[in-house]
Amino acid sequence: MRITDTAVNMKLLIDLLERLSIIAILAYFFSRFKPFRHVLLRSGSVREKTVLAVLFGLLAVAGTYTGIPVQGALANSRVVGAAVAGLLGGPWVGLAAGLMGGLHRYALGGFTALACGVSTTAEGLFAGLVNRAARGKTTNWLVGFWTGFAAESLQMLIILAVARPFNQAWELVQVIGVPMIVANSLGVGVFMATVRALKLREDRIGALQTQKVLDIANQTLPHLRKGLDFDSAAAAARIIYEATDADAVALTDRGRILAHVGVGSDHHRPGEPILTEATKQVLSEGKIVVAATRGEIGCKSARCQLGSAIVVPLRCREEIIGALKFYRIQENAITSLEQEFITGIAQLFATQFELAALQRQAELVTRAELKALRAQINPHFLFNALNTIVSYVRTEPETARRLLIYLGDFFRRNLHQAGDFVTLAEELNHVKAYLAIEQARFGEKLQFREEIDPSLSTLELPVLTLQPLVENAVKHGLLPKQTGGTVSIRVAKVKRGVRITVHDDGVGISPDRIVRLLAPDSSGTDWTTGVGLSNVHERLKSIYGQSAGLRMESEDGRGTTVEFVIPRRLSAARPASETPRETREKVAR
């Protein structure tokens, strides 16, 4: 190649890079608009792919118009639009954008019109195939550079193969080949680097916003556990207000203001009826409302300073229970990021409300089952105990008196239990009162042994946990055995917490019956009614987790062992001055 040719090539390369900078600036300008960014970064649906193909088809057309006339043809950057479309959207998007740019170039005429039209279409399709081969991971600038390099090399080959006369095509390729390959390869690479930077920025903003939403949800969770009321709403509104730069934050139920923090709190007062028309619209229609002006907010107070707002419905199990409001003093001041942010908070609140509702329902069910268990045990045990005491009244009145004291103690603990948790010592006293009466009935046939770590006497456990297990061991393990036997209770520290074991050396039970007895809907007629074991099993799981239920092992004729573990983090003994409720609140925190 002559020196003059090299100089021409360098000048052409510089001119192409200058033209390419115009397209780069245009692309950056478009990237500042949210609709363009949305399509650029999330081209998944047919509509988004169509918009992407049209946008980059127009970019390819712009590349032709900024071209430089050379020997009856155009040195241009048309490939940038077609190649980037294929790299971002795949084969069909690249093909459509390339076809759009190619047809436009063909319509302009010239001896390379057909060759350039075909090559632009082929370049878009080729870049789309690169996207498919890379499984969409094409925003690396090196991938863009080498794709542009290969695509422009392909264009030069198509010009040589299609354009006529061949000598003129060869001379043209000698002049424009190297400058166009270098310039447009850089152009595609720079464009993909811009897209990657834009994606990283969006991801970073999204991650920060998600983290803020999660932080707010974590702080509000303890308050929203009891549902949406004045106290929980005030706490949640304060947390959101302090975590953001909102001018005001408010929460309502279906008809009243529950909390309002910030500007406007002088007339948006908790307990008063809802003042804004935007909120009433959200509660009636269940749709998010973005009020851009004071008029759209529709506050009835003439002195209200709030200029714009986003109002989001709060739901619990698809039912609208209130609204969350985010205010600005300025009009038209609610950004799209703030819309997404408040919507995300409302969705997490809905999840918290549903979990709170489920927890309350589970507590009610557990309490109902516990009451049913108490009602079942009382008459069943009472009749047998009274018969035993009657038999001692004349012959051993002191024994009868002692048994009456045990019976009174048993029912006092059973009927007047203040909370759902008791200490191990209290539960053992309950068990011993029961066993004293049963031993009076069956004499030497029933023996009792305990092995208790003294340091665990103040350990908390759910009420009526041991008594049903001991009763089942006595009635259905030992008493059917002609010689009777021994029921043992062992409480010891283990690595995971505290293990409590009830063992009898009675007749045993088959494995299939164990499965039935522990089933939540157990209704068997043996081992009491099966309700006792299943109730204890389900309560342990609901309190300590699914792995914390009863574990039963048994052999026919050799006895049965039932045990459970209270996890270490929940097994610390409470101080004598501390109530079970206080302990549970500590655990919750």
The CATH number for 119's domain is 1.10.1760.20
DSSP 477: I
Per-residue pLDDT of the chain (589 residues; tens, 9 = 90+): 444 557 667 777 777 777 777 766 766 666 666 556 665 655 567 877 888 888 889 889 988 888 888 887 878 888 888 998 888 888 999 999 999 999 999 999 888 999 999 999 999 999 999 988 887 677 788 888 999 999 999 999 999 999 889 999 898 888 888 888 888 888 888 888 878 877 777 667 666 666 777 788 788 877 877 778 898 899 999 998 988 888 999 999 988 999 999 999 999 999 999 989 999 999 999 899 999 898 999 988 888 999 999 999 998 877 888 999 999 999 888 877 788 888 888 888 888 887 776 776 666 556 656 655 555 555 656 666 666 777 667 677 777 777 777 666 666 665 544 446 888 998 888 788 778 878 877 778 888 999 999 899 889 888 878 888 888 888 888 888 888 899 999 999 998 889 999 999 998 888 888 877 777 655 433 444 344 788 788 888 877 776 788 999 998 888 999 999 988 755 544 433 344 334 333 333 3
As a three-state string, the secondary structure of 492-524 is: EEECCEEEEEEEECCCCCCHHHHHHHHCCCCCC
- Of 334, 349, 379, the position where a domain reaches its end is 334
What residues contact 408, with CB distance under 8 A and at least 6 apart? none
What pTM was computed for the model? 0.45
| Calpha distance 132→140 (Å, rounded) | 15
In a domain, 216, yes or no: no
pLDDT at res. 259 = 93
Domain that holds residue 36: 3-204
pLDDT at res. 391 = 66
In a domain, 66, yes or no: yes
DSSP 27-85: HHHHHTSHHHHHHHH---SHHHHHHHHHHHHHHHHHHHHT-EEETTEEE--HHHHHHHH
In a domain, 347, yes or no: no
Looking at the structure, tell me whether residues 134 and 47 fall in a common domain.
Answer: yes
pLDDT at res. 362 = 67
Longest Cα separation, the chain: 134
- Of 334, 352, 379, the position where a domain reaches its end is 334
pLDDT at res. 316 = 80
**Number of structural domains in the chain:** 3
In a domain, 312, yes or no: yes
pLDDT at res. 23 = 67
| Calpha distance 145→148 (Å, rounded) | 5
- Of 158, 174, 204, the position where a domain reaches its end is 204
In a domain, 272, yes or no: yes
| Calpha distance 191→40 (Å, rounded) | 12
Joined tokens for residue 508: 């045993």
Residues making up the chain, counted from first to last: 589
Joined tokens for residue 38: 């949305």
Three-state secondary structure call for residue 425? helix
Looking at the structure, tell me whether residues 320 and 427 fall in a common domain.
Answer: no
